[in-house]
Structure 1
């Protein structure tokens, strides 16, 4: 007679929550790290507001989303870094040829922009994220022997660059996150979040539209070249 792992029911409930296209669309949209209204998510998922409300209720009850109300608006966001990591890890395991092909020029352009550079919850991803990760590694700021870890030089780099890095939190300073377009790990963790936050705040990157895609500005290209030696060709 075997004893069932006590985590089995919880895992089954979690899998059931994600195993719905409307809820999956909401989770992927919320990987931009921002709060969305129920109406915005309904339009994004292509469903009626009443249908979306039911799905959001399940995601909130399941601990994947948190919600807050401001006036008549209901805002939701991912419940935290661990949820974002789960969603991104699952999405990264979807084979490229299993994804729906772009049907229009607009869809194709949006896909190209996402592949070029985007936010992955609170850190940089796409070719931009990989370029940053490679630059950190080549300069001895990051080691990848058994997972990602900042070196002493890497810690000093943040200080020299004037980028605030939380070294006292429970979150790991550096973590590998599998990039679903590049099929390689990019820098996540507190260091990845600090760099992304600074890049957006300092105008190194700007968001494209209302989604996750970002593009590097002229000031950002100069800063990334001076601080990490990243050439313009890597940012295209």
Structure 2
């Protein structure tokens, strides 16, 4: 049970830190243009917050559970032959549960905010830092753009994870490039989908956003990240793993 609890807490930390920073600490303006947070983190700050949650969470729990905190990561590591299929479903359940607890906590805390802030957060296209496309994309990007973005960025994220945790890579530093990669991913894609690359993160806040349309778009933020992760696991295990690279040639035999 230790590894499942670690995944629950780690995913809770990711959603609380990342989505919480977007909800509470990013720049928020109420109708009429009044800025309610002069020291708002903004776009860059939220991107860093997500990266820092993975960086710190991986150092805290990576030696216990591997520090997935993301169903797509679990699928990618499974396809890359780094993770047991027997643990796949329990990990996903733990991750979604951790994300849901964080989403509920963010919602409860937000209830104590001034009415103007609460209204501003819930009237936006992405309440509670939810993910979406079309009318729920921060910059109005459509379904195809959102799907390509989530698939490709999750693909690259898993390649970074698989490479950084390869036994040939420098030991003990994997959380650093992984956290920085997630920061970069957010810098690219917050304007497009508000950045998921993590089905649990998307689900945990969507359940409390009060918008049926956003919940109806969750399917994309499960299918695209998982597809990208599985593709990355296949590519890495078949082209970059040591066994594939160093297999003896017929001449050598």
For normalisation by structure 1, the TM-score amounts to 0.30
Looking at secondary structure, tell me which structure has more helix per residue.
Answer: 2
For normalisation by structure 2, the TM-score amounts to 0.29
Looking at secondary structure, tell me which structure has more strand per residue.
Answer: 1
Higher RCO (CA 8 Å, separation ≥ 6 residues): 2
